[in-house]
Amino acid sequence: MGIIKAINLAFEYIRRDEEGNVEGILRAVDGVNLDIEQGDFIAILGHNGSGKSTLAKHFNALLHPTEGSVWVEGKDTADAASVWDIRQTAGMVFQNPDNQIIGQVVEEDVGFGPENLSVPTEQIWERVEESLKAVGMYKFRKHSPNKLSGGQKQRVSIAGVIAMHPRCIILDEPTAMLDPNGRKEVIRAVRALNQAEGITVILITHYMEEVVYADKVYVMDDGKVVMQGEPRTIFSQVEELRRLRLDVPQVTELAYELKKSGLPLPDGILTIDELVEELKKLKCSGTGVDYVIDS
Amino acid sequence: MSLILDHVNYIYGEDTSMAVAALRDVNLVMGDGEFIGLIGHTGSGKSTLVQQLNGLLAPTSGSVYFNGNDIGDKDYNRKELRSKVGLVFQYPEHQLFEVTVFEDVCFGPKNLGLSPKEVELRAYEALKQVGISDEQFYQSPFELSGGQKRRVAIAGVLAMKPDILILDEPTAGLDPKGRDEILGQIRKLKEETGMTIILVSHSMEDVAEYVDRIIVMNQGSVIFDGLPREVFRHYDELEKIGLAAPQMTYVMNRLQQEGFSVNADAITIEEAKQEILKSLKRG
């Protein structure tokens, strides 16, 4: 069994009027089965309202299943006694960095988590140091978080989670409010954590380019997992993704369009390097010429 | 319609030890019906610039002229200016507050002192312009999806009938389809009304696809101003200031370095596709 497992998970939001009568029920997550291996980099895609955030909130017991169950390191999230263990195992980073920072000084903010776990003071400082180094923010440790850029703040938020020594970190659209540089910084930090520290990463995002490096992608629609597989497999299905209000990375789309025009390119090209290599092959063999029809 | 910035400087906290220059000698002319993309990393001065355009901030030195009049003049009607230069902030759906979608959009024109008839007419028109259907008019705005809420918020500004519409990151947090829908509506709006649009954006791909002119800000100064393909030629410099070019620019430049005879100016997928096909045909 993997680090996080969902079995027939369903979650319903119940809307009530002023008298408390049930007005409507929204099944936000509907029969999801997942098994996430320790050390994997997982991406979850889906349009607004597809249920991905609701699903993610089950992974650290912020929400409890209406039906089915969620297991984190073998512990049932519905069991109130395990909640603290589960939250220590699976840490969460949200979209807006301004809502997640409470300290007046960067290092104090990062120390807040371990302090609440009653970690001895000396070890707190060790953890703060290693966490800030892991996200490349150590030199800002004495700064006020208010003066940092969005990407820097978001990396401090991530450090705050890492300082609690989680084995899994869940990021819910961590780059939605950042500029291109901030986005790159955060994704680089997250990938480093995954590769160097072996921390399991679950990344929810609307940016297709960020998903390219994931081990596995889950696509959600209407509360259900409708596609799953390696990025290459997922991004080969351009039309299907569009139907789900999603997209593919621009290079993938270019390759797809070129293929539609007759070039013999493989499906699911994900990076610029791959596309350039394939085009070079075509150019050398001269085969491209035969396929290009006058337009 | 024209908007001119003449040697505009703006300093936050002037005369204090915390003084920060947010705009340095900005000179710009924005004309009728332009679709302008304003880009720059966080803290580059974009938002400060935008707030100068409708008089929310007044320059520390220099002037802003709207249709030939200095908006800093004592007797200038700034209330009217704000109805002519519409500003849609980031996450505008947080500003929705009324009971129904329709009433929310009526709020702006109502405050202009128009007749109830005119107010409703404008609200109706604005909601149509952003693609909200009649059935949704009397729903609570809070029951709509994220993309719909945002479009209602934009309609609230459109109902003021602005000459210039400024949108600060209108697609932040939306899914890819939602992004395309909003930007498509904005483009249609521009084509139908001839309104000037200023789009503040972090997405180079969106900017490449939609705008006619790009203004790049860095440390309070305008460092590039021109056609998208011209600006993206400087992708090296853009990266140095925390920005990037659209992915297509990198693809085309790589291909050029590898000996393909392609024009590296292609910035959209369609342009890139045509270039690549052309180069392979020549062999």
Are A48 and B280 in contact (CB < 8 Å)? no
pLDDT-derived band at A290 (thresholds 50, 70, 90) equals: low
Are B202 and A275 in contact (CB < 8 Å)? no
User: Which of A182, A246, A254 lies closest to B175 in CB terms?
Assistant: A246
- Nearest-Cα distance to chain B for A166, in Å, is 27
- Nearest-Cα distance to chain B for A27, in Å, is 15
* Residue A193: its H or E element: helix A180-197
pLDDT at position A274 is 95
B-chain residues near A251 (CB < 8 A): 247, 251
How many separate helices (H) and strands (E) can be counted in chain B?
11, 10
Is A294 a residue whose pLDDT tops 60? no
User: Which of A249, A258, A272 lies closest to B276 in CB terms?
Assistant: A258
- Nearest-Cα distance to chain B for A51, in Å, is 13
Is A177 a residue whose pLDDT tops 90? no
> Kind of pairing, strands B196-200 and B164-168?
parallel
Closest-approach residue (CA) in chain B for A285 = B283
pLDDT digits (tens, 9 = 90+) for B188-241: 999 999 999 999 998 898 999 999 999 999 999 999 999 999 999 999 999 998
Are B175 and A177 in contact (CB < 8 Å)? no
- Nearest-Cα distance to chain B for A32, in Å, is 21
pLDDT at position A144 is 92
Enumerate domains of chain A plus CATH numbers.
4-246 (3.40.50.300), 249-295 (no CATH)
| Residue, of A43 and A288, whose pLDDT is higher | A43
B-chain residues near A46 (CB < 8 A): 175
pLDDT at position A289 is 55
pLDDT-derived band at A201 (thresholds 50, 70, 90) equals: very high
Are B175 and A257 in contact (CB < 8 Å)? no
Is A14 a residue whose pLDDT tops 80? yes
- Nearest-Cα distance to chain B for A206, in Å, is 6
pLDDT at position A147 is 82
Whole-number Å distance between alpha carbons of A235 and A249: 8
| Residue, of A9 and A117, whose pLDDT is higher | A9
Q: Does A95 touch chain B (CB under 8 A)?
A: yes
Q: Does A258 touch chain B (CB under 8 A)?
A: yes
Quote the tokens at residue B42: 């966080």
Q: Sign of the C-alpha dihedral, residues A25, A30, A35, A40?
A: negative
A 181-210 residues with CB < 8 A to B: 181-182, 206, 208-209
Amino acid at B64: V
pLDDT along chain B (283 residues), means of 10: 93 87 95 93 88 93 94 90 91 90 95 94 94 91 86 93 93 88 92 94 91 95 96 93 91 94 93 93 62
pLDDT at position A291 is 56
DSSP state of A236: T
Are B283 and A286 in contact (CB < 8 Å)? yes
Assigned superfamily of B1-76+164-176+190-228 = P-loop containing nucleotide triphosphate hydrolases (3.40.50.300)
E strand residue ranges, B67-220:
69-70, 85-88, 164-168, 196-200, 213-218
- Nearest-Cα distance to chain A for B183, in Å, is 15
**Over residues A257-279, mean pLDDT:** 93
pLDDT digits (tens, 9 = 90+) for A67-84: 999 999 999 999 999 998
B 49-88 residues with CB < 8 A to A: none
Residues of chain B within CATH 3.40.50.300 domain(s) are 1-76+164-176+190-228
Whole-number Å distance between alpha carbons of A291 and A261: 8
**Over residues A170-182, mean pLDDT:** 87
Q: Does A286 touch chain B (CB under 8 A)?
A: yes
Is A288 a residue whose pLDDT tops 70? no
pLDDT at position B282 is 57
Q: Does A245 touch chain B (CB under 8 A)?
A: yes
Contact between A58 and A6 (Cβ < 8 Å): yes
**Over residues A191-219, mean pLDDT:** 93
Is A107 a residue whose pLDDT tops 70? yes
List the single range of A166-175, A197-206, B28-37, B139-148 with lowest mean pLDDT: B139-148
Q: Which ipTM score applies to this complex?
A: 0.84
Number of Cβ pairs < 8 A linking chain A and chain B: 113
Is A21 a residue whose pLDDT tops 90? no
Whole-number Å distance between alpha carbons of A73 and A167: 9
User: Which of B176, B202, B258 lies closest to A276 in CB terms?
Assistant: B258
* Residue A68: its H or E element: strand A67-72
- Nearest-Cα distance to chain A for B229, in Å, is 17
Place of tokens 């209108």: B170
B-chain residues near A282 (CB < 8 A): 280
pLDDT at position B14 is 87
Whole-number Å distance between alpha carbons of B129 and B43: 32
Is A165 a residue whose pLDDT tops 50? yes
Q: Which of A210, A181, A177, A187 is nearest to B238 (CA)?
A: A181
Phi-psi category of A18—alpha, beta or left, where left has phi over 0 and alpha has psi -120 to 50?
alpha
Whole-number Å distance between alpha carbons of A154 and B91: 19
Place of tokens 């994900």: A270
